[in-house]
């Protein structure tokens, strides 16, 4: 700063003023040029007059700019130019530009006081703010406005950096300000508590006065709290800071003119006590010849009520708006961001769609045309089917058979062919079917199939089957059923006591049935039947026959293949059902078998192609990795 200090009241005045703004004392006469105003020294980052938005200081911008340009070292000019360039071109990575380099170099200094790195962070903050807001021209214009007014403080702060650095490290002066600075003032600064303040890390005044910079710092550190001073930016600066400043230095050492400039005591003007050796001799008036006294200039004689010195923290509307914007941005950070909606057209969806088309179209075509191209499965090639058929064929006429409908409705598409064939065979054999189930859907499935099967048959359904219903308790229930069926299921679903009439009145335990046929898609249910019921059946050689889904076959087949066999017959899945139906002379005339065949063929191709693509992509990726 090149403001002129009033020799009378010690207040800073713009260089173009003839007399003091506050006490009307002549300024030019004394030619007293302060290197920087104490307020600036007290906290280098306090937004100087340029940022306060006060009208008279707005007008002084050009002059300031010119004097500033002299004061700015080259690297800082580059920084400023860079920053403006950056904000105009909305560079995404401020960390890579010259500003950041400078900031890094500053931050890396071992004894860098806060005041020196804050502006750097401020730059980051601004840059990130511009990025975050993503304003194109608007951001550019904003940065231009900043360079012309509100933002000036940032650059000012930047400009103070080398200065403070030099002071801290007692390097030879490099700026114009330094050149202009008289020796006494250098000494004064050396003993000044305010400079000490500046060197103190994160001292309270810094924290309080460098509002925008602080905000920037907070952005940099990712903290979510907006500093208190922003909230009560209209109120006075809290006294503790000043007390703290005082407590650090003995008041006696503080020059009184400097004392006078302290914000909270600025209202009582005191005579300057500075060394007046450099002051001019009065050339006019009664005090002619005296050095450093107030010349009897008419304007100086006029008594004035000392003006109150505003100590309000001065934040422009724009700065306030910017901080609010930052606050909003930080608030957004706290909210969990919802996952972006999945695009409707993604590679996965396309792949899935392709699979659907490739899989379903041929199947549909086979069914529509009723194709009979593929040779039907031979019962001999499918283990279990021949034994199953023989066991059913060898059942005595009218024998009681226990049927367990233990499959889920969803698997009826796969198992219905086999099951309806079994039911038809049992009806032909005039067997009496006692139906039980351990799955809730069982009774409905059984009833539906029985009703479909008995169409065209004469006689009441109850003459050849009864539905005993659901066995609660899973495995325990099965154990109970094996020991005493009539205790577990005392009544049929119609509410009849079927155990009292023929043929079930002859049944005391499960082995009294001629055969037990379990229909299930669940290997666990099949295992329960095999492990809980099969031992009892083996005593009298009652066969346990299983109709199952292809998903359970691999786990049930070992029981069928075992020696001695625990399962005497096995029909598994659609293939087994088709083979079984063909053995008993029921040949299907629709295209489901061809559809099944082409479905499997297409599925194999899809899995193969998918896997090959995966391997190729992996190899390509590995190749690229090796290249890199």
Partner 1 sequence: MKKILPIANAIIAVISGLFVLLGYFFPKVFGGIQSVLIGWAIILAAFALLLGIFNLAMVHWKKIGAEGPSNINSIVLLISLIITMIVVSFSGPTGSWSLWIFNTFQLPVEISLIAVLAVILVYAGARLLSRRPKWYTGLFLVTVLIVLIGSVPLFFIGEIAPLNALRGWLAQVPAVAGARGLLLGVALGTVATGLRILMGVDRPYGG
Partner 2 sequence: MGQVLSLIKDYFGFLFVLICLGLILFYIYSDRNRPKINLRDIQAFKHFRREVDLTVEAGKRLHVSLGRGNINDLQGGAAFIGLSILDCCARAASNSDRPPVTTSGDGVLTILSQDTLQSAYHTLATEQRYDPTNARLTGLTPMAYAAGTMPTIHDEHVSANIFAGHLGSEIALMTEASERSRSLSVAGTDSIPAQAVLYATSDEPLLGEELYAAGAYLGAGPAHLASLRMQDILRWVLILIMVIGAILKLLGILP
Partner 3 sequence: MLERIGQLADPIGAIIGFVLTVMVLSYIIGDNVLFRLAIPIFIGAASGYAAVLILYNVLWYQVLVPVFQVITTGKMDNMLIYATHVVPAVILGIWMMTKMSPRLARWGTPVLAFLTGVGAATVIAGAVRGTIFPQVGASVNLLNIRTAPSELNELVGWFINGLVVLVGTATTLIYFHFGIKRQEEGVPVTRSVVLGYLSTAGQGFIVVTLGVLFAGVYIAALSALIDRVSFLWDTIIRFF
Q: Give the residues lining the site for partner 2 (CB under 8 A).
A: 336, 339, 342, 408-410, 439-441, 473-476, 522-524, 528, 539, 551-552, 555
615 binds, among partner 1, partner 2, partner 3, none (CB under 5 to 8 A by kind): partner 1
CB of residue 553 to partner 3, shortest distance in Å: 6
Per CB under 8 A, does 601 bind partner 1? yes
Binding mask 568-597 for partner 3 (x = CB under 8 A): -----xxx--------------x-x--xx-
Q: Per CB under 8 A, which of residues 438..457 are in contact with partner 3?
A: 440-441, 443-444
Structure tokens belonging to residue 13: 């005045």
| Among partner 3, partner 1, partner 2, none, partner that 233 touches (CB below 5 to 8 angstroms by kind) | none
User: Which listed option, partner 2, partner 1, partner 3, none, makes contact with residue 76 (CB within 5 to 8 Å by class)?
Assistant: none
Please, which residue, 316 or 437, has the CB nearer to partner 2?
437
Q: What sign has the CA pseudo-torsion 531, 537, 541, 545? A: negative
Strand boundaries in 492-568, DSSP class E: 515-520, 544-548
Distance between CA atoms of residues 396 and 572, nearest Å? 24
Q: Which stretch binds partner 3 (CB under 8 A): 237-245, 263-271, 301-309, 556-564?
A: 556-564
Q: How far is the CB of 619 from partner 3 (least distance, A)?
A: 22
Residue 380 contact, options partner 3, partner 2, partner 1, none, Cβ 5-8 Å cut-off depending on partner type? none
> Considering CB distances under 5 to 8 angstroms, the limit depending on partner class, which of partner 3, partner 1, partner 2, none binds residue 339?
partner 2
- How far apart are the C-alpha atoms of 251 and 65, rounded to whole Å? 36
Which one of partner 1, partner 3, partner 2, none is in contact with 606 (Cβ closer than 5 to 8 A by kind)?
partner 1
- Helix ranges (H only) for 134-251 are 137-148, 152-169, 176-180, 183-191, 193-199, 204-209, 211-221, 228-231, 239-248
Where in 459-488 is the site for partner 1 (CB under 8 A)? 467, 469, 472-473, 476-477
Identify the CA nearest to 253 among candidates 196, 178, 183.
Answer: 196
Residue number, 7 or 443, with CB nearest to partner 3: 443
**Residue 491: CA count within 13 A, CB half-sphere:** 4
CA 473 – CA 489 distance, rounded (Å): 12
Residues 524-583 that bind partner 1 (CB under 8 A): 550, 553-555, 557-558, 561, 575
> Of 43-51, 96-104, 247-255, 351-359, which segment contacts partner 3 by CB under 8 A?
351-359
| DSSP per-residue codes, 452-510 | HHTTT--S-GGGTEEEEEE-TTHHHHHHHHHH-HHHH--S-TTS--GGGSTTGGG-SSG
DSSP-based three-state secondary structure for 389: helix
Starting at the edge strand found earlier in the chain, the sheet holding 432-437 runs: 465-470, 432-437, 400-406, 515-520, 544-548, 569-572
Binding mask 306-345 for partner 1 (x = CB under 8 A): ----------------------------------------
Residue 154 Rama label (left phi>0; alpha psi -120 to 50; beta): alpha
376 by DSSP, 3-state: which?
A: coil
- Per the document, the length of the chain is 628
CA angle 242, 47, 232 (to 5 degrees): 60
Minimum CB distance to partner 2, residue 544 (Å): 17
**Is the CA virtual torsion 610, 616, 619, 625 positive or negative?**
negative
Burial class (CB in 10 A: 0-12, 13-18, 19+), 589: exposed
Task: Give residues 340-379 in contact with partner 1 (rule: CB under 8 A).
Answer: 351-352, 355-356, 359, 362, 373-375, 377
Closer to partner 1 by CB, 73 or 599: give it. 599
* C-alpha to C-alpha distances, 271 to 28, 76, 260, nearest whole angstrom: 18, 38, 9
The minimum distance between CB 431 and partner 2, in angstroms, equals 29
With CB cut-offs between 5 and 8 Å by kind, which of partner 1, partner 3, partner 2, none does residue 611 bind? partner 1
Q: Which is nearer to partner 3, 155 or 560 (CB)?
A: 560
Q: Can you tell me whether residue 63 is helix, strand or coil?
A: helix
292 CB-contact burial (10 Å; exposed 0-12 / middle 13-18 / buried 19+)? middle
Q: Does 606 bind partner 1 (CB under 8 A)?
A: yes
What are the tokens at 277? 């050796």
Q: Which member of 135, 182, 383, 470 binds partner 3 (CB under 8 A)?
A: 470
Kindly state the helix (H) or strand (E) to which residue 571 belongs, with its residue range: strand 569-572
Q: 91 touches which of partner 3, partner 1, partner 2, none (CB within 5 to 8 A by kind)?
A: none
557 cis-preceded (ω within 30 degrees of 0)? no
| Total residues binding partner 3 (CB under 8 A) | 54
> Which of partner 2, partner 1, partner 3, none does 336 bind, CB closer than 5 to 8 A by kind?
partner 2
Query: How many other C-beta atoms lie within 10 A of the C-beta of residue 392?
Result: 25
Of positions 87, 412, 420, 532, contacts partner 1 by CB under 8 A: 412
- The residue ranges that bind partner 3 (CB under 8 A) are 344, 349, 352-353, 356, 359-360, 363-364, 367-368, 410-411, 413-414, 440-441, 443-444, 469-470, 472, 475-476, 489-491, 493, 495, 521, 527-528, 531-532, 549-555, 558, 562-563, 573-575, 590, 592, 595-596, 599-600, 603
What are the residues binding partner 1 (CB under 8 A)? 351-352, 355-356, 359, 362, 373-375, 377, 381, 383, 408-413, 441, 443-444, 446-448, 451, 467, 469, 472-473, 476-477, 493-494, 550, 553-555, 557-558, 561, 575, 594, 596-598, 600-601, 603-604, 606-611, 613-615, 617-618
């Amino acid at each position: 700063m090149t403001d002129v200090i009033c020799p009378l009241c010690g207040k800073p005045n713009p260089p173009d003023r003839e007399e003091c703004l506050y006490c009307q004392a002549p300024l030019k006469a004394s030619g007293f040029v302060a290197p920087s105003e104490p307020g600036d020294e007290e906290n280098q980052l306090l937004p100087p007059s340029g940022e306060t938005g006060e009208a008279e200081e707005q007008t002084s911008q050009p002059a300031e700019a010119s004097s500033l340009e002299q004061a700015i070292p080259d690297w800082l000019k580059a920084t400023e130019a860079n920053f403006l360039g950056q904000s105009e071109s909305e560079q995404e990575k401020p960390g890579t530009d010259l500003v950041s380099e400078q900031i890094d170099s500053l931050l890396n200094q071992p004894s860098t006081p806060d005041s020196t790195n804050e502006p750097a962070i401020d730059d980051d903050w601004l840059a990130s703010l511009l990025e975050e807001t993503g304003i194109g021209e608007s951001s550019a214009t904003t940065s231009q406005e900043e360079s012309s007014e509100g933002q000036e403080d940032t650059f000012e702060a930047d400009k103070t950096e080398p200065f403070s650095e030099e002071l801290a490290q007692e390097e030879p002066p490099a700026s114009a300000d330094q050149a202009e600075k008289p020796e006494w003032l250098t000494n004064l600064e050396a003993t000044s508590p305010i400079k000490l303040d500046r060197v103190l890390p994160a001292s309270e005044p810094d924290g309080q006065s460098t509002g925008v910079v602080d905000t920037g710092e907070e952005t940099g550190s990712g903290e979510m709290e907006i500093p208190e001073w922003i909230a009560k930016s209209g109120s006075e600066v809290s006294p503790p800071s000043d007390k703290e400043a005082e407590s650090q230095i003995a008041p006696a050492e503080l020059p009184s003119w400097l004392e006078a400039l302290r914000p909270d005591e600025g209202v009582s003007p005191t005579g300057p006590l500075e060394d007046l050796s450099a002051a001019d001799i009065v050339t006019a008036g009664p005090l002619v010849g005296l050095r450093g006294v107030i010349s009897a200039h008419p304007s100086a004689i006029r008594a004035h009520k000392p003006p109150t010195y505003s100590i309000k923290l001065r934040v422009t509307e724009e700065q306030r708006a910017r901080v609010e914007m930052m606050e909003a941005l930080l608030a957004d950070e706290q909210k969990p961001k919802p996952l972006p909606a999945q695009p409707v057209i993604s590679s996965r969806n396309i792949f899935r769609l392709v699979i659907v088309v490739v899989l379903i179209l041929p199947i549909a075509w086979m069914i529509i045309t009723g194709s009979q191209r593929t040779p039907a499965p031979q019962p001999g090639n499918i283990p279990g089917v021949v034994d199953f058929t023989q066991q059913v064929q060898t059942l005595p006429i009218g024998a009681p058979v226990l049927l367990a409908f233990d499959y889920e409705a969803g698997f009826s598409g796969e198992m219905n062919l086999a099951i309806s064939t079994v039911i038809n065979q049992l009806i032909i054999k005039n067997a009496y079917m006692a139906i039980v189930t351990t799955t809730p859907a069982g009774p409905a499935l059984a009833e539906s199939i029985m009703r479909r099967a008995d169409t065209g048959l004469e006689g009441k359904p109850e003459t050849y089957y009864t539905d005993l219903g659901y066995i609660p308790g899973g495995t325990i229930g099965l154990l109970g059923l094996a020991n005493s069926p009539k205790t577990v299921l005392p009544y049929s679903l119609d509410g009849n006591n079927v155990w009292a009439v023929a043929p079930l009145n002859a049944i005391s335990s499960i082995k009294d049935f001629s055969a037990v046929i379990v229909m299930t898609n669940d290997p666990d249910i099949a295992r329960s039947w095999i492990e809980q019921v099969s031992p009892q059946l083996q005593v009298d050689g009652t066969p346990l026959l299983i109709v199952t889904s292809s998903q359970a076959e691999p786990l049930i087949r070992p029981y069928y293949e075992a020696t001695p066999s625990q399962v005497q017959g096995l029909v598994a899945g659609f293939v087994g059902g088709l083979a079984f139906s063909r053995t008993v002379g029921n040949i299907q005339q629709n295209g489901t078998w061809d559809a099944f065949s082409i479905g499997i063929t297409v599925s194999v191709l899809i899995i193969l192609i998918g896997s090959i693509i995966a391997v190729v992509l992996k190899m390509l990726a590995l190749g690229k990795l090796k290249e890199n």
